[in-house]
Structure 1
Amino acid sequence: MSTAMNLGTKAFKPRPPDKGSFPLDHFGECKAFKEKFMTCLRVNHFDNSKCRLQCKEYLECRMDNQLMAKEPLEKLGFKDLTDTPPSEVKDAKPSTA
């Protein structure tokens, strides 16, 4: 009887989460980064502009552990905190003053 019920079910096909939805960190892979960010927020009376570096590190951890889609940090609002790509440093002309 249970076999007849299983014949009509479709196989489960996992798919990546929709943009903007974040899987839970079940294994605590980014817990230390989250705690560091939350502590910074509490110390700074929840002024998130003072905790941007901690936020960036937390998001990088989530991307590295496939807990969110990989996005360029510039798109996430961290252009000022990213390192200058080596090609731009090499192409920069020295100033002659």
Structure 2
Amino acid sequence: MSTAMNFGAKSFKPRPPDKGAFPLDHFGECTAFKEKFMQCLRANHFENALCREESKEYLECRMERQLMAREPLEKLGFKDQTEEKPASQPQAL
């Protein structure tokens, strides 16, 4: 009969995820966006790159309704889909 004594073992301290917890959508405020995204995934054999617009709309819905922290879309992987304002060009006279 042997007992394991790990005097040098570090204790595990859980820490929250980097982005925090995401509240559930109890009132179904973003269900239509989620369903549109899931339909796109199924139609495209779960190739998520083909459903980026639907994913973006779903995340925007969650941010607008405070179901997740507001983040710039660029930080969520949508830099190529954000609207950039064109730089004003000087007019020739």
TM-score by length of 2: 0.73
Map residues 39-58 of structure 1 onto 2, 5 A cutoff: 39-58=39-58
The runs of at least 4 aligned residues of structure 1 exceeding 4 Å deviation read none
Map residues 49-88 of structure 1 onto 2, 5 A cutoff: 49-85=49-85
Q: Percent identity of the aligned residues?
A: 71
Map residues 8-23 of structure 1 onto 2, 5 A cutoff: 19-23=19-23
Map residues 17-32 of structure 1 onto 2, 5 A cutoff: 19-32=19-32
**What amino acid is the match of 1:36?**
K
> Aligned in 2, Cα 1:18/1:75: closer, same or farther, shift over 3 Å?
closer
TM-score by length of 1: 0.70
Provide the residue aligned with 1:14 in structure 2. Answer: none
Superimposed CA distance per residue, residues 5-41 of structure 1 (whole angstroms, 9 cap, x where no aligned partner): xxxxxxxxxxxx9724211000000000000000000
Provide the C-alpha distance between the structure 2 equivalents of 1:81 and 1:19, rounded to a whole number of angstroms: 22
- Kindly indicate which of the two structures has a greater share of residues assigned to helix: 1
Provide the residue aligned with 2:12 in structure 1. Answer: none
The aligned length equals 75
Provide the residue aligned with 2:9 in structure 1. Answer: none
**What amino acid is the match of 1:93?**
Q
Measured on the aligned residues, the alpha-carbon RMSD in Å equals: 2.0
